[in-house]
A and B are shown apart, each in its own frame.
Chain A
């Protein structure tokens, strides 16, 4: 196998990794906000439900959750799977898993906003949602950025778990090439691609942190 073939296969797999990464962020970033708010809701059953959900998502392996989501339709509801099911299952599992982690980070950020901010907004007549969107959330973003950066970088690497239900992403592609070609090169390339992509993400996060550095509390 030529190096070109190897690399183009790895980049093909990397596209799948990136698609999982991007869809997870698109789904989990907003979903996490809803979960964080529901978790702090005054409606006790809802808050409890979210607590249990977060606890399960953080307390069980993502790989197991993927298995559960992939196979539950068949084993619980008798719905036949098809080759498209696994892609759906991977993305759903990643989104609901990461939404739970994001929700806890959001919650820590929301709770760190001083009471005085809410009181000032209340006296000025802001509604609850205006207060959250205009005053609380922008400050939360700045506070949680380092923690979110950690999760986002972990997410890129976690995409390699997708093959446990048969979605071939970059790492499983690398392993398949290693097996047939009996060479370590694909691992080296894969490591390089992971690192470079995380380096890009780190740089973007650093730029964003710098942008938000115009104020401190």
Chain B
């Protein structure tokens, strides 16, 4: 079972107890370094020597993603990690000869994971706009929009109807960024703007009537509408439009370029279009693909 990505080796368990007994952060540091073989390939240690990752054949390519973020990354019917972005990542790794490792993360911890080196990239419907200075991005490959979803019987038709309503979105998400930035005036008309840890919880609250609207990505909205077409409607107005790209730790330009080039190649081979069709019922459309067009 792939979900439990963390296998405890005997050695790392012993090291851990030793570290615990020493009680110091320094101890934790050395144990972390020392147990690199736990749950991963030994190749990780090579990349640990420098901040700058060079694309090399056989290297570990650890994809950090939110496992509750369909259709980009989620648990498939067979229990394996799947999704549009993960399929793209896996294929890129195959072409490059990298060791593909999907690694679910807590979204709030993504920067630490990336900077610390436990993941190679964030590839998960990751919006570029507003984050340009924080990451080294691949070229944008997908167009996206931030939209508002309400219940079908709510009577809310436009942004104007949202005055005095309760709106929620995901913590640390692009939708939140827009609502606190360019669309702050709109947000000011809401009764409240709250955040949830994941969109699934947000939509459960919407369905149960606890809140009036959810602000989210176009694709998230499409996925939820596809699951429960009679329950939700998406407002025609868009909060913003934006681009998705693969995010790397700042400075990893060679790696970002390698991914960009491979994606372009996959598009010209027709692989991307096929993949979009595979996820079309979940809101992915090839018309939104923007790389190399």
Query: Which residues of chain A have a CB within 8 Å of any CB of chain B?
Result: 1-2, 5-6, 8-9, 12-13, 15-16, 19, 23, 26-27, 31, 53, 67-77, 79-89, 91-92, 95-96, 99, 163-168, 172-173, 175-182
Q: Is the CB of A83 within 8 A of B44?
A: yes
CB of B17 within 8 Å of the partner chain: yes
Given contacts A76-B25, A85-B32, A173-B75, 7 further A-B contacts (CB under 8 A): A16-B6, A19-B8, A74-B112, A75-B115, A88-B31, A167-B6, A168-B5
A85 to B55 alpha-carbon distance, docked (Å): 23
Residues of B within 8 A of A83 (CB): 5-6, 38-40, 44, 60, 62, 101, 103, 118-119
Which of A67, A82, A92 sits near B118, CB closer than 8 Å? A82
* Number of chain B residues whose Cβ lies closer than 8 Å to a Cβ of chain A: 66
| B129, chain A: closest CB distance, angstroms | 25
The residue that B12 contacts in the complex, of A1, A84, A96, A176, with Cβ under 8 A, is: A84
* Contact status B198-A175, CB under 8 Å: yes
Residues from chain A with Cβ under 8 Å of B195 in the complex: none
| A71–B116 CB distance below 8 A | yes
Residues in chain B near residue A5, CB distance under 8 A: 77-79
Contact A73 B33 (CB under 8 A): yes
Report Cα–Cα, A167/B104, bound state, in Å.
8
Query: In the complex, A95→B13 CA distance in Å?
Result: 12
Please indicate the chain A residues that have their CB under 8 angstroms from the CB of B117 in the complex.
74, 80-82
Report the minimum CB–CB distance from A189 to chain B (whole Å).
14
Which stretch (B64-72, B210-218, B252-260) binds chain A? B64-72
* Interface bits B214-235 vs A (CB < 8 Å: 1, else 0): 0000000000000110000000
A120 to B: closest C-beta gap in Å = 33
* Contact assessment for A176 and B20 in the assembled complex, using a CB-CB cutoff below 8 Å: no
Instruction: Produce 1/0 per residue, B71-91, CB < 8 A to A.
Output: 000111111000000000000
| CB-based contact B4/A166 at 8 Å | no
Given A87-B8, A166-B105, are A73 and B3 also a contact pair (CB < 8 Å)? Answer: no
The answer on a CB contact under 8 Å between A164 and B35 is no
* Distance of A158 Cα from B158 Cα, bound (Å): 43
* Known interface pairs A88-B35, A179-B70; A9-B109 also in contact (CB < 8 Å): no
Cα(A70)–Cα(B60), bound, Å: 20
Is A23 in contact with B16, judged by CB distance below 8 angstroms? yes
Q: Which residues of A contact B115 (CB under 8 A)?
A: 74-75
Chain B residues with CB below 8 A from A31, complex form: 20-21
Instruction: Write out the residue numbers on chain B whose beta carbons fall within 8 Å of the beta carbon of A181.
Output: 75, 77
With a cutoff of 8 Å between Cβ atoms, the chain A residues found around residue B261 in the complex are none
Chain A, residue nearest B70 (CB): A180
Distance between Cα atoms of A73 and B117 in the complex (Å): 11
What is the 8 Å Cβ interface bit string for chain B, positions 94-116, against chain A (1 contact, 0 not)?
A: 00000001011110110011011
The distance from the CB of A15 to the nearest CB of chain B, in whole angstroms, is 6
Report how far A157 CA is from B119 CA in the complex, Å: 27
12 examples of A-B residue contacts, CB within 8 angstroms: A13-B4, A26-B17, A72-B28, A73-B29, A74-B116, A74-B117, A80-B116, A83-B44, A85-B116, A92-B28, A164-B106, A176-B67
Measured in the bound complex, the distance between the Cα atoms of B3 and A68 in whole Å is 24
Q: A180 to B108, alpha carbons, bound, how many Å?
A: 20
CB-CB under 8 A for A9 and B79, given A31-B21, A84-B12, A175-B68: yes
In the bound complex, CA of A166 to CA of B74 (Å): 14
